[in-house]
Amino acid sequence: MPNIVVCFKWVIDEAYIRRGSSGELDFSSVSYKISDYDRNAIEEAVRLRNESGGRVAAVTVGSPEATKGLKDALSRGPDQAYFINDASFENIEPSQTSAILADVIGSKIEYDLIICGEGSSDLYTQQVGPRLAERLGIPCISFVLKLTIDGNHIIAERKVEDGVEVTAAPMPVLVTVLPDINTPRIPGVKDTLMASKKEVVNIAKDDLAQTYEPTLQTTAMTAASMERRCVKFGAEPGDIAGFVEALEKEGVLR
């Protein structure tokens, strides 16, 4: 019965980021969400547990504000959560995130299988999973679209540019999953109620073995610009004609 750890991130919903007048990012009306593909990671962990038994622990590193994310994650089926939080964890980069995760998972959590998303919705560095595996010294299979447990091995179908590779590795192992792997559930009221009864282990910065300095420094962050005409037509014959005429004027039709 495998012990499964799933890593998720509580992120800013990018759809609410505005572009300020001088090209700066305006975060004043943002809300947060569980990183999109981490919903697939959680779903897969829960699916495997329901099939093979064992437990699922959901782990996140973030600022204390990420508390809401824990309830959201737990309402998706994990048994327990670990919340590694500090105000300074708001803007860490992947080498730090993975080192902190390795510190806690390596010393406090039993694991046979660790599941990460393919990439986070905000930074999308696609690094934290493989870095975490390397830190823990365990095999890594990334970009997985199908996962099975076979005795003490993981069999994973991995999507590569030239097709699909069926790979096997002995547990403990880390995999990163693609959104194709499953369809995440939409938690109901009952799931949310159940979630508030589940255990959350809080871990503070002082509980870590050491501090982890950044290796990547952000020197600028600007809104990507896209100026477009934004002319709208309806679907009436006159509109269609106007639309086609506009394209002719642009000289983009052959």
Partner 1 sequence: MAGAWIIADNREQTLELLTIGRELATTMGTKLTALLWQDQELADDYISHGADEILLLPPLPEDQPPGAYIPVIADEAQKKDPDIILMASTVRGKEMAARIATRLNTGLCSNCIALNLGEDGKTVEMERLVFGGTAVQKVTCTVRPAMATIPLKTFEPAVKQEGRQGDIRELPAPAPSPVKILERKPRETEAKDISESRIVVCVGRGIEKEEDLALARKLAHALGGEIGCTRPISEENHWLPEELCIGISGISVKPDLYIGLGISGQVQHVTGIRDAKVICAVNTDENAPIFAAADYGIVGNLYDVVPKLIEAFKT
Could you give the residue ranges of the DSSP H alpha helices within 34-148? Answer: 36-52, 67-74, 94-108, 128-136
CB nearer ligand FAD, residue 125 or residue 167:
125
Q: How many residues bind partner 1 (CB under 8 A)?
A: 79
**Under the criterion CB under 6 A, does residue 8 sit at the interface with ligand AMP?**
yes
Q: How far is the CB of 128 from ligand FAD (least distance, A)?
A: 13
**Contact with partner 1 (CB under 8 A) among 67, 79, 134, 208:** 134
**Contact with ligand FAD (CB under 6 A) among 63, 67, 121, 126:** 121
**Under the criterion CB under 6 A, does residue 119 sit at the interface with ligand FAD?**
yes
Q: How far is the CB of 184 from ligand FAD (least distance, A)?
A: 12
Neighbours of 182 (CB within 10 A): 19
Q: For 30-69, give one letter per residue: b (16+ CB within 10 A) or e.
A: bebbbbbbbbbbbbbbbbbbeeeebbbbbbbbbeeebeeb
**Contact with partner 1 (CB under 8 A) among 95, 112, 187, 203:** 95
**Under the criterion CB under 6 A, does residue 142 sit at the interface with ligand AMP?**
no
- Determine the Cα angle at 108 with ends 130 and 95, to 5°: 30
Q: How far is the CB of 206 from partner 1 (least distance, A)?
A: 23
What mask of x and - would describe binding to ligand AMP in positions 92 to 111, judged by CB under 6 A? --x--x---x----------
What values do phi and psi take at 40, rounded to 5? -70, -40
Question: How far apart, in Å, do the first and last CA atoms of the chain sit?
Answer: 63
**Under the criterion CB under 6 A, does residue 93 sit at the interface with ligand FAD?**
no
d(CA 85, CA 68): 13
DSSP assigned state of 225: P
Which amino acid, residue 87?
Answer: A
**Contact with ligand FAD (CB under 6 A) among 24, 27, 90, 124:** 124
**Under the criterion CB under 8 A, does residue 28 sit at the interface with partner 1?**
no
Q: How far is the CB of 115 from ligand AMP (least distance, A)?
A: 7
**Under the criterion CB under 6 A, does residue 7 sit at the interface with ligand AMP?**
yes
CB nearer ligand AMP, residue 193 or residue 205:
205
Q: Cβ distance 195 to 67 under 8 Å?
A: no
Stretch of 58-66, 109-117, 187-195, 215-223 lying at the interface with partner 1 (CB under 8 A) = 215-223
DSSP assigned state of 137: T
Return left, alpha or beta for 77; rule: phi > 0 is left, psi -120 to 50 is alpha, else beta. Answer: left
d(CA 190, CA 168): 37
